[in-house]
Amino acid sequence: IIARYGIDSNGNYVSNETQFDSHHDLRFFVRMTSPGEGSLEYECSKSVFYDCAEGTVGDAEIQGQWIRRYSAYQHMPETPVGISF
């Protein structure tokens, strides 16, 4: 996982999670890197968003441009954000 952030209905980028509760219209996005695909951005639910910690490596279930599920590998050191495969 490279980055995660919210975007409000006006198109404003919201990365400070303490501001999420004051924006009731947020859409949640995660940017990740995968072998052979490069860097891609996906939308997800708020609960999946919180599963996607920056720097983690794991398995994602993708449907179109939507992350249905993300599970970080356990007992693995976090990677530097932006690592190349």
The reply to whether 7 falls in a domain is yes
Give the residue among 75, 67, 27, 62 at the shortest CA–CA distance from 51. 67
The reply to whether 82 falls in a domain is no
Cβ burial, residue 58 (10 Å; 0-12/13-18/19+): middle
pTM to 2 decimal places: 0.82
Q: What is the distance between the alpha carbons of residues 37 and 62, in angstroms, rounded to a whole number?
A: 13
| Per-residue tens of pLDDT for the chain, all 85 residues | 999 999 999 999 998 888 888 888 899 999 999 888 889 999 999 999 999 999 999 999 999 999 999 999 987 665 655 554 4
The bridge status of strand 66-72 relative to strand 38-44 is parallel
Q: Which 3 state secondary structure label does DSSP give 78?
A: coil
State the residue range of the domain holding 60.
3-69
The reply to whether 50 falls in a domain is yes
Domain count, the chain: 1
